[in-house]
């Protein structure tokens, strides 16, 4: 299936999904964080949506944090590796991301096409999985599939914003039910709070690390090699290995130290 670079209609549709309450069931609501789940009728993969209100953080800062891969390596402790592969347009690129799963579950990775757009007072970033001929599945990872993942950032004034994170990911494997429950009740809220904390520290960090370099804002700074969209295809989940990890018990799973953060 050929890859389509998102247009304004796709971004507006994504924003509508973030803002809509219809069909969503609240799984977590505490403090400034809310998590909703939704079972898609025609898909076996659940959609998850999160929202956090970020006080003392501008929408622009949050947008920069989500884009800045150099800074992500400082705060995203679940990440193993991430890098940009190449650019498609001034607001679309292809990248790689891998992350740790609790032992003995296998670690996962993605190759995704990402696109971004400032829209009025909002900022949007969306991605979905693609196949790149030079980045096939790796031996020690399970290649997961992002059907649709993205962020909506809405400004609440001069120094506050709201972040929505919506994701529908096929992890390529029959995961235990405790893993699915743990994601909505524990992992997702903690991830949102971690992003918020990273935003509070970003301005000071950025002042010391190429403060004027923001290629997601200034396309002329982008030095990535150009990729022809015709060289990419949509990553179909059914073409990848599907492993059965449903028998792994929570007691046997070794949660990484990040889970113990306060």
Which residues, at least 6 apart from 129, have a Cβ–Cβ distance to it below 8 Å?
110, 111, 112, 113, 144, 145, 146, 147, 234, 235
End-to-end CA distance of the chain, in Å? 44
Give the Cα separation of 26 and 37 in Å (integer). 7
Q: Above 70 in pLDDT, residue 246?
A: no
Residue 185 covered by a domain: yes
Residue 65 covered by a domain: yes
For the stretch 13-51, pLDDT in tens is: 999 999 999 999 998 999 999 999 986 654 567 789 999
Secondary structure of 51-69 in the HEC alphabet? EEEEECCCHHHHHHHHHCH
Residue 254 covered by a domain: no
Residue 37 covered by a domain: yes
Q: How confident is the model at residue 185 (pLDDT cuts 50, 70, 90)?
A: confident
Secondary structure of the chain in the HEC alphabet? CECCCCCHHHHHHHHHHHHCCCCCEEEEEECCEEEEEECCCCCCCCEEEEEEEEECCCHHHHHHHHHCHHHHHHHCCCEEEEEEEEEEECCEEEEEEEECCCECCCCEEEEEEEEEEEECCEEEEEEEEEECCCCCCCCCCEECEEEEEEEEEEECCCCEEEEEEEEEEECCEECCHHHHHHHHHHHHHHHHHHHHHHHHHHHHHHHCCCCCCCCCCCHHHCCCCECCHHHCEECCHHHCCCEECCCCCCCCCECCHHHHCC
For the stretch 141-175, pLDDT in tens is: 999 999 999 999 999 988 999 999 999 988 877 66
Give the CATH number of the domain where residue 72 resides.
3.30.530.20
Burial code (b: 16+ CB inside 10 Å, e: under 16) for 19-58 equals: eeeeebeebbeeebbbbbbbeeeeeeebbbbbbbbbeebb
Domain limits at 33? 8-238
Residue 182 covered by a domain: yes
- Work out the average pLDDT over 61-65: 98
Residue 262 covered by a domain: no
pTM for this prediction: 0.89
Quick one: which of 1, 204, 252, 239 has its CA closest to 104?
A: 252
Residue 251 covered by a domain: no
Tally of structural domains, the chain? 1
CB 148 within 8 A of CB 128: yes
Q: Above 80 in pLDDT, residue 193?
A: yes
For the stretch 1-16, pLDDT in tens is: 789 999 999 999 999 9
Residue 246 covered by a domain: no
């Amino acid at each position: 299936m050929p890859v389509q670079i998102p247009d304004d209609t796709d971004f507006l549709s994504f924003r509508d999904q973030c803002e809509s309450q219809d069909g969503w069931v609240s799984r977590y609501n505490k403090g400034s964080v809310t998590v909703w789940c939704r079972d898609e009728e025609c898909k076996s993969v659940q959609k998850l949506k999160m929202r956090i209100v970020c006080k003392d953080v501008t929408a622009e800062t949050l947008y920069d944090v989500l884009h800045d891969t150099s800074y992500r390596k400082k705060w995203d402790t679940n990440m193993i590796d991430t890098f940009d592969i190449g650019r498609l347009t001034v607001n679309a690129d292809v990248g790689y991301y891998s992350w740790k799963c609790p032992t003995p579950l296998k670690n996962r990775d993605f190759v995704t096409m990402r696109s971004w757009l400032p829209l009025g007072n909002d900022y949007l970033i969306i991605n979905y999985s693609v196949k790149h001929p030079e980045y096939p599945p790796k031996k020690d990872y399970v290649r997961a599939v992002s059907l649709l993942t993205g962020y909506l950032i809405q400004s609440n004034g001069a120094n506050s914003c709201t972040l929505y994170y919506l994701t529908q990911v096929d992890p390529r494997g029959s995961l235990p039910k405790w893993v699915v429950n743990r994601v909505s009740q524990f992992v997702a809220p903690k991830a949102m709070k971690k992003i918020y904390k990273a935003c509070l520290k970003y301005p000071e960090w950025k002042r010391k690390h190429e403060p004027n370099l923001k290629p997601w804002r200034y396309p002329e700074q982008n030095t990535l090699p150009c990729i022809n969209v015709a060289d990419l295809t949509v990553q179909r989940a059914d073409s990848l290995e599907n492993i059965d990890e449903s028998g792994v018990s929570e007691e046997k799973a070794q949660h990484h130290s990040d889970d113990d953060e306060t």
